[in-house]
Structure 1
């Protein structure tokens, strides 16, 4: 079965499935889908949750062990696995299919991948998934869907606002559901049970607007250290996943290195990530490539560190790296 985010609640009311694959570039929709599934699962006794970010065979074996232990002790659990797009390789497909074959009634499996329709590329994976569960496409395909999501969100938060205010939010947060969702939550707390006018939120969206990993990376590579640190502070405050920040910056830095060696890159994707072609030109200089290699190694170290110890905080290190890169901006 294949469904969209909009239909998820209706499907859950009818039946709680064993497997949910959440795929799509709209991170907030993936997060909301995960939250909704967990709420319905907890009502049926799945009280524990475990999160995994597997990148190698050893980490997958740890997940298999959890599967085995749950089967022995008959404890109900929700396993949430995040697969980053660079890690979705044949080996990972193999491990996921093994999990699907071992599924039992004590486990709800949620797999997240922040890429649109990526899992369509593996027919064997799709076959096993559709036998046990569904794929939830967490995407907004057009402006109409964006507006419908926005209207539903303000209704859920019981926000009352006039048309001018809505239009301002449309324009300011177009194609940025994550930031729009967070700012609406802030607005609902400040102006609870009152009509919100454009004057009420103008300062909020300019001074307290929440951002995404791409906007942080763009600020860093554009040399705007103050903006980068402010974004990090806001992301930290709202429990943003630091692994996403690491992966985004890694991806952009690797593209810069590729360009320095005259390797052809996909210019449209680069432009989409940073919205500024000057970024690559600024860092595509021999004297900075050595620094970029060091930064990538540090990011890899931080990634291993946080995966080894989920309680470990790396926000100070991310702020330090932001300042280092903005310092060398030209």
Structure 2
């Protein structure tokens, strides 16, 4: 049987197979699928877990022999095989086929590996698992689905997020599901059950430097260069990671550039911001920026953001915080010297 990750829970509720293969390149979803299989297996009496990590020179015959050995206390066990590379070789393929075609009532085999290409997915060992067990393919979550995914995760924590709140978190984590999962867990600790808005999220983590960066862009867009530079210095003093600061500034600049494009096509600032789903709590400051920043200036600021990114990555040998000062001042309407 072949399943997607979304259908695994329903399949497990109906029947537990003797062998599972979970494949994908999204670590959070792959691990959660493996957790679901283990949990279901434990509920069926598979109390022992035996983990094998496949590396060069791995002894597949020893694994087979061990799988046939009875436990001292006759406990049913999960034989978990983790392969960093979804190509086990001839000996490994033979061993997996034997595990699939000659199952033991006392063993459940769980194989976890990375994304399989078409050639591997059609290999004889994968076909054997598909015929005698379950192949679960985990696909990356499309960015357009991320806000809904976040809302669903928050709902499981008794937090009912509106679309704007989910969009804020989705933009913040930039498609990283593990980061999104961590933010959901943090909010579950910070917030009481109930509705969640974008303002609620910002207020709940007002003391968190990861969200203080939002105040940076707000002050700069309002033209308050002194306050913006003070916030920037505070972030640096708190050892906030430069990529977080860059994310916040670049997000506002991208929104401003896209709004200007729509405004040149006849839209008002309000309609342009709404069309681009600019967070409502950002709109007053952004409207101020749109009224004074010329498209040429915004293009220069985007180039400055790109330069800061190259500094962070080490492509340009310079301090990104100096480029941030120039960028923040420019967004606020003050020109500083170019960072070295």
| TM-based fold match above 0.5 | yes
- Identify the residue that residue 149 of structure 1 maps to in structure 2: 149
CA distance in 1 between counterparts of 2:145 and 2:182 reads 18
**Counterpart in the other structure of 1:77:** 77
Q: Do the aligned residues in 2 keep the contact of 1:8 with 1:136 (CA within 8 Å)?
A: yes
TM-score (norm. length: structure 1): 0.57
Say which structure, 1 or 2, has more relative contact order (CA 8 Å, 6+ apart): 1
Residue 5 of structure 2 is matched in structure 1 by 5
Question: Which residue is equivalent to 1:125?
Answer: 125
Q: Is the 8 A contact 1:70 1:77 kept in 2?
A: no
Relative to 1, partners in 2 of residues 1:82 and 1:125: Cα closer, same or farther, differing over 3 Å?
A: same
Residues 150 and 166 in structure 2, CA contact (< 8 A), matched pair in contact too: no
Tell me, yes or no, if the aligned pair for 1:23 and 1:118 is still in contact at 8 Å: no
Cα separation, 2, equivalents of 1:15 and 1:94: 26
**Aligned with 1:51: secondary structure?**
strand
Structure 1 Cα separation of the partners of residues 69 and 46 of structure 2: 15
Structure 1 partner of 2:210 = 206
Which ranges in structure 2 are unaligned for 5 or more consecutive residues? 213-238, 242-308, 317-340
Whether 1:171 and 2:171 are equivalent positions in the alignment is: yes
CA contact (8 A) 1:71 1:106 kept: no
Secondary structure, aligned partner of 1:115:
coil
2-side partners of 1:105 and 1:206: how far apart? 50
Q: How far apart are 1:203 and its partner, in Å? A: 5.4
Gaps of 5+ in 1: 209-225, 229-274, 283-330
Partner of 2:324: none
Name the residue aligned to 2:105.
Answer: 105
* Residue matched to 1:215: none
Structure 2 match to 1:67: 67
Counterpart-to-counterpart distance in 2, 1:204 and 1:5: 34
Query: 1:161 deviation in Å?
Result: 2.9
1:19–1:110 Cα contact (<8 Å) kept: yes
Provide closer, same or farther for how the CA distance between residues 94 and 227 of structure 1 changes in structure 2, counting only shifts above 3 A.
farther
How much does 1:82 deviate?
1.1
Q: 1:51 to 1:157 in 2, by over 3 A?
A: farther
Deviations 1:125-146 (A, max 9, x none): 1331122211111123523443
CA distance in 2: counterparts of 1:114 and 1:46, whole angstroms: 25
Measure the CA separation in 2 of the matches of 1:37 and 1:49: 12
Residue equivalent to 1:136: 136
1:73 Cα deviation from its structure 2 partner? 6.5
SS of residue paired to 1:53: strand
Q: CA deviation at 1:120?
A: 4.0
Instruction: Answer yes or no: is the 8 Å Cα contact 1:79–1:109 preserved in 2.
Output: yes
Bigger mean CA offset, 5-14 vs 185-194: 185-194
Q: Provide closer, same or farther for how the CA distance between residues 141 and 277 of structure 1 changes in structure 2, counting only shifts above 3 A.
A: farther
SS in 2 for 1:160: strand
Q: Which residue of 1 aligns with 2:265?
A: none
Measured at CA, do residues 103 and 56 of structure 1 come closer, stay the same or move farther in structure 2, by a change above 3 Å? farther
Cα deviation for residue 99 of structure 1 reads 2.8
| Distance in 2 separating the partners of 1:69 and 1:155 | 45
- The Cα shift of 1:15 comes to 0.7
TM-score computed with the length of structure 2 as normaliser: 0.56
Deviations 1:152-179 (A, max 9, x none): 2122222233433211111112321111
Q: Quick one: distance in 1 between partners of 2:26 and 2:12? A: 21
* C-alpha contact (below 8 Å) 2:210/2:240 kept by paired residues: no
